[in-house]
Amino acid sequence: MSSRDGGSGPVRVIVTGGGTGGHVYPALTTVNVLREVLAEQGRPLTVMWVGARGKLEERVAGQAGIEFLPVATGKLRRAKNPLGMLTWTNIKDLAKVPWGALQSVAIVRRRRPDVVVGFGGYVAVPVSVAAWLCRRPLVIHEQTVRLGLANRLLARMAKATAVSSPSTLELLPGKARSRAELVGNPIRAELFGGVPDRAVATLGLDGFDRDLPTVYVTGGAMGAVQINNLIAELLPGLLKQANVIHQCGSTGIDKAREVQQRLSPELAPRYYLAEFIGPELPDVYALADLVVARSGAGTISELAALGKPAILIPLASSAGGEQAFNARYLEECGAAKALIGPTTAEDLRDAIGALLEDPAARARMTEASRALGKPDAARTLADLILRTAR
């Protein structure tokens, strides 16, 4: 049932995945593109999102008008020492898994989807297994450069595995590799429509010196304490070289405001501080000459698709060292500078300064980044889902 084969019937899709924005937002973007593709063909689409009650996926699904079906799920908190995983919290969560599996089988049997699409996270495991048990086609999508623990298990059951990076293909089990396709990581279409001057007007950046480059600093929606602390130490010197837009998150806003208040009248107008950057993000990206950020799957996909030079400071505690792996991969490809391990303000200052003083280096990063980006990922994934659908 391809999006190109002239099919005319309705399509029923169960989407599952959640826990973090890295799983949720690619799923939402893909659903929106599925709607567009099928609307062009005059075909109806029914979407159901199976996830965990009270988590991000429930809120996002509700806002998007997608029916949400909750199941029980447990999170396995990993540790370097396997014995460290034998915690009471892990045991309680694992006890939820059988019940979640039964709920998932009941949902798949009752709703009879043409295809189940898993976007990762622990909630995707019981639903994806239920699809396999009920003999409904399963597509899984891996957002990271590596292969997540859940998808490593599910790839053997999937009819198709969509990956975001060529490096992921070699990590798949043998037979699953033959059923895998490189599609990229879906990112929101609106990110491609940014206008630099609109960021200046919307955010009131009249004090920015447009002859200087602009650095966008972000720790993600929640902010990053490590990045906030580093920026606080080097901010006055940085503002002599660049304008700075800083998304610091709710936990960092008070300290960042104290730093802002100590800036000289000459430098203060070049610093824009925000707890959160929302609808303005496409314009902020368009204005930015350099991005300082974490290296989660969603962030690196956005940077690559938009061709943004970046300095990446991975979250040390990310599952399986995923963010460090992502950062190293982009650095090896020439698309970013990675600061891995203990990082001082001096380390970050030197990395930023080297790139601000070398526009040609930033241009090479832009070219390398765009070579990695897959701006049509959502459309490509939608096509794979429809080809796989029963």
Residues of the chain predicted below pLDDT 50? 1-6, 77, 79, 82, 85
Which residue in 12, 135, 107 sits closest to 50, CA to CA? Answer: 107
What does CATH list as the number for 189-372?
3.40.50.2000
Its pTM stands at 0.87
Write down the domain spans for the chain. 11-187+375-388, 189-372
R_g of the chain, CA atoms, integer Å: 22
CATH number 3.40.50.2000 is the correct assignment for the domain at 11-187+375-388: yes
Domains 11-187+375-388 and 189-372 share a fold: yes
Predicted local confidence at residue 53, as pLDDT: 94
* 53-59 own/partner pairs: CB under 8 Å, 24+ apart: 55/18, 55/19, 55/123, 56/18, 56/19, 56/20, 56/21, 56/24, 57/17, 57/18, 57/19, 57/23, 57/24, 57/27, 57/123, 58/18
Q: Which H helix or E strand runs over 244? A: strand 243-247
C-alpha span between 84 and 295 (Å, rounded): 26
